[in-house]
Structure 1
Amino acid sequence: MNQFVLTQKAKAKQFQIKSLKGLGIQEIPLGIIAAGAALSYLKETHHSHLAHLKPPIRLHENDFVWMDSFTITNLELIQPSDSKGKSLMEVLDDTKTAFGGRTLRKWMVLPLKDLSKINQRQKVVSHLIGNEDLSEFLQENLSEVGDVERLLARASAFKITPKQLVWFAQSLLVINQVGKRLRTENNPQVFSPYLPDDSSEAVKLILDTMDPDPPHSLLKGGVIKKGFHQELDQLKDLRDHAKDYLEKLKDKEIENSGIQSLKVGFNSVFGYFFEVRNLHKDKVPTHWIRKQTLVSAERYISEELKDFETKILGAEDKIYQIESKLFEDLLLTLPTFFGVIQQNALKIGELDVLCGFARLSKERNYSRPTLVDQKKLSIKMGRHPVIENYLPSNLKYIPNDAFFDLNHQIAVITGPNMSGKSAYLRQVALIVLMAQMGCYVPAKEVEMGVFGRIFTRVGASDNLSQGESTFMVEMTETARILNYLSEDSLVILDEIGRGTSTFDGISIARAIAEFLHDSPFKPFTLFATHYHELNELESEFERIQNFHVKVEQIDGKIHFLRSLEKGGSEHSFGINVAKMAGLPGLAIQRAEVILSQMESLKNSEENTATKMPKKEVLSTSNQNDSALQLSFFQLDDPVLEQIREQILEIDINALTPVEALVKLNQIKAVLSGGKKI
């Protein structure tokens, strides 16, 4: 029997179902094997209590935005690329529960594509923004909820402590209170997907059994509530009143024996004993039994004292046994409620995220995006959510617009380093992502269609362990983007081609821009570059527009204005930025001289090597490789033209090997000395 069949049977047995068809995963053999391996690992490591495990759920591509690992990393959604940086997760995480934070993380990497579900989330956020009392109620109550998902898993695995179990019940009680409050709202249907089911029975079962303030360890006792078990109460009463009993016994023996200095003690060797000083040895009753002689005293036991000792010492063991049994029985009963509790945790986690969205949207002046069923992206006065949040108080973030539709597909953005191009690219992508999470966005107004894929190629990194250079990594990521385009894609490209020579880089960058423009999918694209030659694309392609980030140069110094304007830029101000970075003055001066010489040389040449060729339509009738090659004989050189004519006159079929060698020698002589053939 193969591994696939084994894992199918194991999963069907675990989830008490006859077939995996009902889960919709029967056509994913690798997924079934992976899940089966996880189950096998748990059993081999003796995790026998797995009642809390839910059946696997298939994530359908049509339900969520598709983002690869490069995009998640480049946009710094979960973790910043720099140890001192901040991620979007840190900026948007205002959740009050641990499972709410995990829900936000999931939403961030799996934004929605379903318009109705996005609008449902937006309605909750809008309602909470307009109802401050409800928002504060939820904030205060959710802060008291423990990590229900983790506590439930510990309870299922019999690893939960008594104190944690009580906290678990108290958290469920708070969740019930939240549900009651939401059902009394004027518009309760807004919260219908997030209303928790009643779990009062589970709460009552736990709180009726457990002491209100138990210790973490069963060994310490005091776990089960008083009045729940009669024998246990009697044993506890005996243990708790042992001191009073000993005092009464001592007083009785003093009265009977007349030994006023009589003491009652205890040690691990003899247990409880009477201690009599030598001065009163003659008064010791005859029924006492001597157990130990000291220098100035003797120790005795009596039948009554030993009976008490047996009871009191046995009580501790008996109490532990009874409490352990009752605690275990309680845990065995709880799986009945796990399904409801897990669903409640899921709903409350989502509600927690939406409450956080509402608070942040109100505090940071976010606006509700309008999502439409058409291919469009219009952002007015958009802001970067992370940069804006961590700007010094004396600085103001400069907002910028973005507009894409069927006639405005690609934006080529030029401008100097540090001007804010990369921030603008990420800003657009993050606004789109936040909108499809159901959150309000940092912009004055947003109207957009739903995107199905978000691609990014930003930053510079290598993968030396796999033998990949910085440029190879860049090309690999870009190839992935171009090969997986779709009609609802948003593409972010930052300085494509910078990892190789200038001419190669310009050629690749332009070719990619042309490919995206001519793609039948026509994906919306933001293309930031330092290759100012790409400004020519606007005049050649109808759906490409040029933009630049505005700067001012005053007395040789540049000032970044951060605003995006129409039109391309002709200067990168790289030397100015190098000066700001602290390069030595001699290096800066030399760079300025070299730049001046190169610009003069470029301007003096009528046909520069960087002149961008017009796009030619390649014939599809001839698909051989020669149709895609640059012709060797297109060069305007009289010597090469002479060689060309001579080669064309040769009859290859009549040429002997010796004659061929002679002809090659003649061509070589022409190339080396300019002689005629």
Structure 2
Amino acid sequence: MAKYTPMIEQYLSVKAEVPDAFLFFRLGDFYEMFFDDALLAARELEITLTGREGGGEERIPMCGVPYHSAENYIARLVEKGYKVAICEQVEDPAEAKGVVRREIVRIVTPGTVMDARSLSETVNNYIVAVVFSGGGYGFAACDISTGELYVTRLSGSFELLLDELNTYSPSELLGSEAVLEQIRGSASAWLKSAVMTPREPASGGGLAPEGLFSEKQLASLPESGRETLALLMGYLQETQKRSLSHIKHIRVYEPNQYMVMDPFTRRNLELVETVRDRSKKGTLLWLLDNTVTAMGGRLLRRWIEKPLMNAAHINDRLEAVDRLYNQLIVRDELKQALKEVYDLERLTARIAYGSANARDLVALKVSLQQVPTLREQCEASGSRTLAALAARIDPCQDLMTWIADAIVDEPPVSVRDGGMIRAGLSARLDQLREASANGKQWLAELEKQERERTGIKSLKIGFNKVFGYFIEVTKSNLAQLEEGRYERKQTLANAERFVTPELKEKEALILEAQESMVDLEYELFVGLRDQLASYIPRLQQLAELIATVDVYQSLAHVSASNRFTRPEIGDFYELEIEEGRHPVVEAVLEDGVFIANETKLTREDGNMLLITGPNMAGKSTYMRQVAMICLMAQIGCFVPAKRAKVPVIDRIFTRIGAADDLIGGQSTFMVEMMDIQVMTEKATERSLVIIDELGRGTSTGEGMSIAQAVIEFLHDKIGCKTLVSTHFHELAHLEESLGGLRNYCMAVKESGKQVTFLRRLIRGAASTSYGIYCAQIAGLPDSIIERSYELLNSFEARTELLQGRLQPAAGSANEQDAGPPETAAPNGAETIAEASAPDAQAAVRYAVEAAVPTVQLQAERLDAATKEPEVGDIVQLSLFAVHEAKPEKLSKRDAKADKVLEQLRSADLMNMTPMTAMNFLYELKKQLPN
């Protein structure tokens, strides 16, 4: 084994403590990295890789970054998902014996970032801990940058844990290797950016640091809550190695306090990011966010992600929004006052954390100056909800006064450079400042005297950190200096620098005063910061209340600007919307007017809509807007409708759009079926289920069968409010057998070859999907469009032929036995030709399925007739129709008929595509006996 130098040995010893992190090892003015860390960091940070001798046979790879700009490099590594351990010198090199002692002072991970430059202002940065225990999951989420801490227990299925993780979107996840592996296997598509940190729960469930939480708070924790909290707080204490006093309040909640939405529903509804490019623009959050504070923006996002389930609490929110909606002046005054409020949550966290600088304290002061005005405006608004909120506001004017008395209005960024503390706060500091000022005045006088004494007008007195104060004279003027008076200190290319005994004496006094002054300022600043840190709970509550006011004014502003109305919401079943609109689509429309539609889902008038109609006609938009209106009502916002009666909904399920899970090895159809499985398992009578294009992705027969079975299950077994769109027009007959189902379609206007989608939902079923027309307006070449119409006409012609021959001859003696009930024409039509004739594929599929029992029935009759021929005329099979024939003609047709029957019996009808089925029937037709 190689023998390294003491310094490299020290590095390796410290590195062993953090094998999963980059080690920033402080050497002088640089943080250095060695070995594999250096190789990887040089590539990730695009910095120079060098090497150094370390006692071994080969040079050790090395790279480094300046300590004064290290935060930028740390931020870049953390953004890439890495962890960084910062190792500092913890003893004075002058007093050290041997290698200076070094220790890790902090570990920066994606879930523990505190640097404002690495954090999004309006998005929380959560770290989540999960513990599996007793058939459920302990769940704790913390944003260390704001001090928020949420704890709950998720009893039951693993899917509930995934739903909760999707709500918080953590940047780091703690848990046992088994739990993390399970999560990684199920949520890789939307949780891929989270860093997984394996960590087993602490034995005994002890909390670190002790005394951080009161016994009353700990007693309120759910089952396995203490164990999960211990896992989280132990990790934070281990990585941060400093005060966590801003994490004081545990927000314990029950999952059923909020509407549940699975990850696909959140994605499909585009609540906080779009499906296309994961941006904010074009989402519900983008539309509703008129907040002016960072903490208000984060709170609005949480409201959207966790709609309330308590009707009374929802109506409290609506009452506040209603008052501000109708009082433009009050609303605007609130907004103006809020513009002067900084991010109190993160300011407070940095104060407790010990990383706040003097500018942060000034920002806190400016924010607190607005609080009395905000409280007065809330009290005067006339809102019961806002008045109750104002009564809880603590203005914290004592804290504001402390900052105003101590810190200058425009302090420097660094707390180590002085210039922060106001005159008059400290008599000792004032004395030092006077001494420093006098010293500088003395230097100015000395420079004037030396110029007069020597006659050198360019002579000057300067200062640098290495040589201190000096007298600088250009080389061309050196002859004019008095010999013996000046002591040479430094030689430059064009000048010489000197000191005098008098200057050396004054320099000591001046530097002592300046050093003492900077140290005293820092001491006074830290004392003030620590004093403020003892009032963290007051500041945190104030921040939460101000954020709530900001969200109220935002919702009121957006509601008034977009002509939204206050919904009626409560614990009833009926969902009724008059002239409902999709809020986001309406907002981005540049030309034209959004077409409003009605929605009525009740037990009496039907709780399930089966929506048919062409592509591009607005089915998906309509279904999404119903979900959006329900969700907006439950966050306490007005809704885009003329009138809305909205029940409290426990879950929204959506299955919208094709989505292969390539990484998971799942096809579009399999993903759809998995979504449907969750719906059928989790939906209740209080749920809203939305399924777009149910049953696509497989053969027509199977797809339609699955679609009908799912519709029947949701209707009969669950009774939830359901919107289903489909191109299976044949399913319209379900309205006759399912009492709660109603047929609706999107209206279309045809004029010659021109088709206009009216975007209007009307009663009844559609008969076609205008697929080729959609292809035409999408820009497909004319040759493809023309060929498509030719093929469609051909298909329809063949279909009509097949349909006509499938009908038994009128007046046949065995007409009542022409086919079993399940082969009846769809939509209640008497013949197949009357049912969806324009839809060639559906007709062919129906023809194939209907032909089998008919042929089988007639084959049985043929066998019987062949074995026991009767005198006179008998009924005989011609494959698709019943004819009269003479006994002597049977022998000529038996061979051909048997061959066709055998082909039919062996055909795999369930796996045929419509085109294959049509061609199969066409070939059979050609083989039929004349």
Q: TM-score, normalised by structure 1?
A: 0.85
2:376 — aligned with what? 180
1:275 & 1:582 partners in 2: Cα distance?
Answer: 80
Match of 1:154 among 341, 350, 357: 350
Matches within 5 A, 1:421-500: 421-500=619-698
Q: Name 1:663's counterpart in structure 2.
A: none
User: Given the alignment of the two structures, is residue 205 of structure 1 paired with residue 402 of structure 2, yes or no?
Assistant: yes
Question: Contact 1:107 / 1:437 at 8 angstroms: preserved in 2?
Answer: yes
Give the counterpart letter for 1:542 in structure 2.
G
TM-fit CA distance, 1:388: 0.2
Please give the per-residue CA displacement for 1:438-477, whole angstroms capped at 9, x wherever unaligned.
1011111111221111111111101121111110000000
The amino acid that maps onto 1:118 is I
The equivalent of 2:856 in structure 1 is: 636
Q: Does 1:415 align with 2:613?
A: yes
Residue 671 of structure 1 and its aligned partner are, at CA, apart by: 8.8
Matches within 5 A, 1:436-585: 436-519=634-717, 521-585=718-782
Distance in 2 separating the partners of 1:673 and 1:572: 33
Q: Which amino acid aligns with 2:403?
A: I
Kept in 1, the 8 Å contact 2:730–2:827? The answer is no
2:471 and 2:499 in contact (8 A); partners too: yes
Alignment partner of 1:77 is 2:261: no
C-alpha offsets along residues 138-181 of structure 1, whole Å, 9 cap, x if unaligned? 11111121111112112222122221221122213223431233
The aligned amino acid for 1:522 is: G
Q: Is the 8 A contact 2:418 2:522 kept in 1?
A: no
Amino acid at match of 2:289: D
Counterpart secondary structure, 2:758: strand
In the alignment, residue 707 of structure 2 is paired with which amino acid?
A: A
The structure in which a higher percent of residues are strand is 2
Letter in 1 for 2:212: F
Contact 2:462 2:470 in 1 (8 A): yes
- What is the deviation of 1:4? 5.1
Deviations 1:365-410 (A, max 9, x none): 1111111331111100010000000001x31110001001112110
Say yes or no: does 1:364 pair with 2:562: yes
Secondary structure in 2 matching 1:401: strand
1:377 corresponds to 2:575: yes
Amino acid of the residue matched to residue 274 of structure 2?
P
CA contact (8 A) 1:293 1:299 kept: yes
In structure 2, distance between residues paired with 1:460 and 1:262: 80
Q: 1:186 to 1:262 in 2, by over 3 A?
A: same
Check the 8 A contact 2:447/2:461 in 1, yes or no. Answer: no
Partners in 2 of 1:110 and 1:301 — Cα distance? Answer: 71
The one of the two structures with greater contact order (alpha-carbon pairs below 8 A, sep at least 6) is: 1
Distance 2:454 2:743 in 1: 111
Q: CA offsets, 1:402-438, max 9 Å, x none?
A: 0011121101111100000000000000001001111
> Residue 299 of structure 1: CA displacement?
6.5
Kept after mapping to 1: 8 A contact 2:237/2:244: no
SS in 1 for 2:694: coil
In the alignment, which of 90, 105, 110 is matched to residue 301 of structure 2? Answer: 105
Matching residue of 1:137: 333
Q: Describe the shift of the 1:212–1:487 C-alpha distance in structure 2 as closer, same or farther (beyond 3 A).
A: same
Which is worse superposed, 422-431 or 56-65?
56-65
Amino acid at match of 1:76: E
Aligned to 2:122: none
Mark the CA change 1:262 to 1:66 in structure 2 (over 3 Å): closer, same or farther: closer
How far apart are the structure 2 equivalents of 1:591 and 1:384?
34
Structure-to-structure mapping, 1:225-240, within 5 angstroms: 225-240=422-437
The aligned amino acid for 2:214 is: I
Letter in 1 for 2:687: S
Confirm or deny that 1:38 pairs with 2:236: no
Determine the structure 1 residue equivalent to 2:542. Answer: 344
CA distance in 1, matches of 2:252, 2:317: 22
1:217 to 410, 414, 419: 414
Aligned pairs for 1:615-626 within 5 A: none
Structure 2 partner of 1:67: 261
Aligned equivalents of 2:456 and 2:594: distance in 1? 87
2:597 pairs with 1:400: yes
d(CA) in 2 for partners of 1:281, 1:293: 16
Helix, strand or coil: the match of 2:776? helix
Aligned pair in 2 of structure 1 residues 216, 258: CA closer, same or farther (>3 Å)? closer
Amino acid in structure 1 at the alignment position of 2:441: D
Cα–Cα, structure 1 residues 191 and 499, in superposed 2: closer, same or farther, change >3 Å? farther
Structure 1, 476-485 or 292-301: larger mean CA deviation? 292-301
Please list the CA deviations of residues 71-108 of structure 1 after superposition, one character each: whole Å capped at 9, or x if unmatched.
Answer: 11111101111128711111111111111111111111
Aligned partner of 1:244 in structure 2 is 441
Does the 8 A contact of 1:506 with 1:531 survive in 2?
A: yes
* Counterparts of 1:610 and 1:161, CA distance in 2: 80
| C-alpha deviation, 1:525, in angstroms | 0.5
Distance verdict in 2 for CA 1:421–1:228, change over 3 Å: same
Q: Distance in 1 between matches of 2:274 and 2:496?
A: 75
Match of 2:25 in 1: none
CA contact (8 A) 2:582 2:625 kept: yes
Which letter does structure 2 place at the counterpart of 1:68? D
How much has 1:591 moved relative to structure 2?
2.0
SS of residue matched to 1:219 = coil
Structure 2 Cα separation of the partners of residues 241 and 458 of structure 1: 77
Asked if the contact 2:378/2:386 (under 8 Å) is kept, the reply is no
| Aligned 8 A contact 2:218 2:226 in 1 | no
Decide which structure has greater helix share. Answer: 1
Determine the C-alpha separation between the residues in 1 that align with 2:227 and 2:758: 56
Equivalent-residue separation in structure 2 for 1:577 and 1:46 (angstroms): 58
Q: Which residue of 1 aligns with 2:848?
A: none
Secondary structure at 1:325 match in 2: helix
Post-superposition Cα deviations, 1:285-325, rounded to whole Å, max 9, x if no partner, equal x8x45336989998664443222211222233222211222
> Structure 1 residues 7 and 359 mapped into 2: Cα distance closer, same or farther (>3 Å)?
farther
Check whether the contact 2:319–2:385 (CA below 8 A) recurs between aligned residues.
no
Change (3 A) 1:472 1:558: same
Kindly report the root-mean-square deviation, in angstroms, between the aligned alpha carbons of the 2 structures.
3.2
1:56 aligns with 2:254: no
Corresponding letter in the other structure for 1:134: V
CA 363–261 in structure 1, closer or farther in 2 if over 3 Å, else same: closer
Q: Is the 8 A contact 1:12 1:18 kept in 2?
A: no
Q: Once the 2 structures are TM-superposed, how far is the Cα of residue 210 of structure 1 from its aligned partner?
A: 1.5
Deviation at 1:264, TM superposition (A): 4.5
**Does structure 2 conserve the Cα–Cα contact (< 8 Å) formed by 1:491 and 1:524?**
yes
| 1:165 equivalent in alignment to 2:385 | no
Write the letter of the residue equivalent to 2:340: E
439-448 or 331-340: bigger deviation: 331-340
Shift of 1:117: 0.9
Instruction: Decide whether aligned partners of structure 1 residues 577 and 289 sit closer, same or farther in structure 2, where only a CA change above 3 A counts.
Output: closer
Unpaired stretches in structure 1, ≥5 consecutive residues: 615-631, 645-667
In 2, the alpha carbon distance for the partners of 1:563 and 1:326 equals: 70
Q: CA deviation at 1:233?
A: 2.1
Tell me which residue corresponds to 1:653.
none
CA contact (8 A) 1:489 1:524 kept: yes
Amino acid in the other structure paired with 2:362: V
Identity %: 34
- Further displaced range: 596-605 or 576-585: 596-605
